Structure 1
Amino acid sequence: MATGSVTSQGVGHARRAANSKAVAMAARAGFVARGVIYVLIGVLALRIAFADGGGKQADRGGALAEIAEKPFGAVLLWVLGIALAGMALWRLSEALFGQAGPDGDKPAKRAVAAGRFVFYGFVSYSVLSFAAGDKSSGSGSGSSDKSSKDITAKALDWPGGQWIVGAVGVGVAVAGVWIAVRAIMRKYHKHLKMSEMSDKTRKGVDFFGVFGGASRGSVFAAAGGFAIAAAVQHKPGKAKGMDDTLRSFTDTPAGPWLLVLISVGLAAFGIFSWVNARWRKV
């Protein structure tokens, strides 16, 4: 058999595997896991808003610690980690073979999918490391604030470090605005099976999608702004992880009520992730 024929058959098998029910189930499980983490982050941030944080971090590490304290928490952590690995696998299939939809094969969309594969691969690794007993920040499951400050301090010592940190901060801030704007414009509609929803369900989906996406984007934008400040002032302490970024909302004229709004919004994004688990086109 010709080499080209064998290669094309291999690509065909890989493409069918990427479009299989197993990959679709892995993607939906990943959305469920992402939803659990965001709902918990929202709850933890809400406690902080009412001065009842109990020393917990309102970030992924804090959410994982909260789960670990519950009955069967260790088992749930393993389940979440494996489910997030499924999300990474789905994003990898999108990077290799394109997304669902008429324009899903565009190079730009494949590149974004590749970036998401790396991100969810890291998140899955951090959750599984935490489940295996690694509670250090080095696993990606510790304090996001300490990690952000440590990484920023190292980067600022590099040649051109201020420009690098500033560029990353701008990138994160722009990504946050992009996330929020796309949510407000309801760009997620093209990824969901909207025709299968009732009018009441659509209204609920739009509430969680717009509110949740805008809140999530706001947190990213604020974190990017702090990274830019760290670069301009050459002070690593200005950089903030998710926990400190959320706490900073209490320093605004709105006081803790802005944090309350963002906290509920992050929980709403978690629920929107569950909506994706049910109606996402995969």
Structure 2
Amino acid sequence: MTDFTSHVPSPPPKWVENFARFGLTAKGVVYCLVGILAFMAAFELGGSSEQGSDKKGVFQFIENQPFGKWLLGLVALGLACYAIWRFIQGFMDTEDNGTDAKGIGKRIRYIFSGIVYGGLAYLAAKMVFGTSSSGGSGGSRETLASELLKQPFGQWLAGIVAIGIIATGIYQIYYGLSDKYKKKVRHAGLKHDIEEKMIQMGKIGYVARGVVWIVIGYLFLKAAMQSNPEKAGGSGSAFQFLESSSYGSYLLGAVAIGLVFYGIFMFMRAKYQPISTT
């Protein structure tokens, strides 16, 4: 007789689930602080600046708190856990995306996310051990722009990367407005009020995140078109760009609140989202 239990999915290994939840929590902490510092910069509260509200600025803020090195170490560890979880999703296909073009695309996004957050974990760890150089998060993008512009057809290469960043931002906004993320929320079997709060937090958060990506891509495109890597920048430069536009303080303030909502959405995912694995 066939053992029917062989067809029942096994629960995720506890260590994978712990990595995912710890990682989502760390990501939530970072985005909440980015949003809070950006909001303070928008309305000139507490001497905050747009450049100081990027992710490295957040790490420095954490480091300056009581027991800051320990707190930053926990954030670095959490981001590393998040990166590892993303690699597991991408390489092991724990979300069952398959091997068709659409599935491969999703898995590549997971891997790319793992690389990005692995880099942030490395930056935070370097600061914990006192080996990080000065400079904002835009430094890595300036370096990338500089290296691309040195290559044959460098402006074209940098332009392609810029378009890719802009496309990522547009997709984030589309993802939020189309409510594609609702599937994971509704699979968690939550109470209706919690579910609706998660959906609203996610929608606002993804749109705000998409706006920041689009501005970063625009700055990278300017660097490509002007063959000037210094024009490229990270989230701090994007915040500065938003603040300098018409009604900039209110625009940056709205984006900052959206990033805080995105951070809260990460906390809710950490608590409620089912973690899939094989």
Q: How does 1:1-282 map to 2 (within 5 A)?
A: 19-52=12-45, 53-55=47-49, 57-100=52-95, 103=97, 106-137=103-134, 142-194=135-187, 196-282=189-275
- Distance in 2 between the 1:69 and 1:266 partners? 22
- Distance in 2 between the 1:115 and 1:147 partners? 16
Once the two structures are superposed, what CA deviation does each residue of 1:151-184 show, in whole Å capped at 9, x if it has no partner? 3234322221101111110000000110111011
Are the aligned partners of 1:27 and 1:86 in contact in 2 as well (CA < 8 Å)? yes
Are the aligned partners of 2:37 and 2:48 in contact in 1 as well (CA < 8 Å)? no
Scaled by the length of structure 1, the TM-score of the pair is 0.86
Q: Offset of 1:20 from its aligned partner?
A: 0.6
Once the two structures are superposed, what CA deviation does each residue of 1:174-212 show, in whole Å capped at 9, x if it has no partner? 001101110111111222355522222122112210001
Aligned partner letter, 1:97: M
- Distance in 2 between the 1:220 and 1:194 partners? 28
- Which stretch of the first structure deviates more once superposed, 145-154 or 18-27? 145-154
Once the two structures are superposed, what CA deviation does each residue of 1:52-85 show, in whole Å capped at 9, x if it has no partner? 3445611110000110111111111111111122
Q: Offset of 1:99 from its aligned partner?
A: 2.7
- Which stretch of the first structure deviates more once superposed, 104-113 or 41-50? 104-113
- Distance in 1 between the 2:213 and 2:245 partners? 17
Of structures 1 and 2, the one scoring higher in RCO (CA 8 A, sep 6+) is 2
Aligned partner letter, 2:67: F
Are the aligned partners of 2:186 and 2:195 in contact in 1 as well (CA < 8 Å)? no
Q: CA RMSD in A?
A: 2.1
- Distance in 2 between the 1:180 and 1:149 partners? 25
Query: Which residue is 2:7 aligned to?
Result: none
- Distance in 1 between the 2:139 and 2:82 partners? 27
Q: Offset of 1:92 from its aligned partner?
A: 1.9
> Any unmatched runs of 5+ in structure 1?
1-15
Once the two structures are superposed, what CA deviation does each residue of 1:7-31 show, in whole Å capped at 9, x if it has no partner? xxxxxxxxx8x93111111111000
Aligned partner letter, 1:96: F
- Which stretch of the first structure deviates more once superposed, 149-158 or 119-128? 149-158
> Any unmatched runs of 5+ in structure 2?
1-9
- Distance in 1 between the 2:188 and 2:40 partners? 38
Identity %: 29
The verdict on how the C-alpha distance between 1:120 and 1:145 changes in structure 2, with shifts beyond 3 A counting, is closer
The verdict on how the C-alpha distance between 1:147 and 1:218 changes in structure 2, with shifts beyond 3 A counting, is same
Are the aligned partners of 1:169 and 1:224 in contact in 2 as well (CA < 8 Å)? yes
The verdict on how the C-alpha distance between 1:92 and 1:133 changes in structure 2, with shifts beyond 3 A counting, is same
Are the aligned partners of 1:68 and 1:74 in contact in 2 as well (CA < 8 Å)? yes
Question: SS at 1:245's partner residue?
Answer: helix
Q: Displaced runs of 4+ in structure 1, greater than 4 A?
A: none
Question: SS at 1:187's partner residue?
Answer: coil
Are the aligned partners of 1:193 and 1:281 in contact in 2 as well (CA < 8 Å)? no
- Distance in 1 between the 2:265 and 2:32 partners? 10
- Distance in 2 between the 1:57 and 1:255 partners? 17
Aligned partner letter, 1:113: Y
Are the aligned partners of 1:182 and 1:188 in contact in 2 as well (CA < 8 Å)? yes
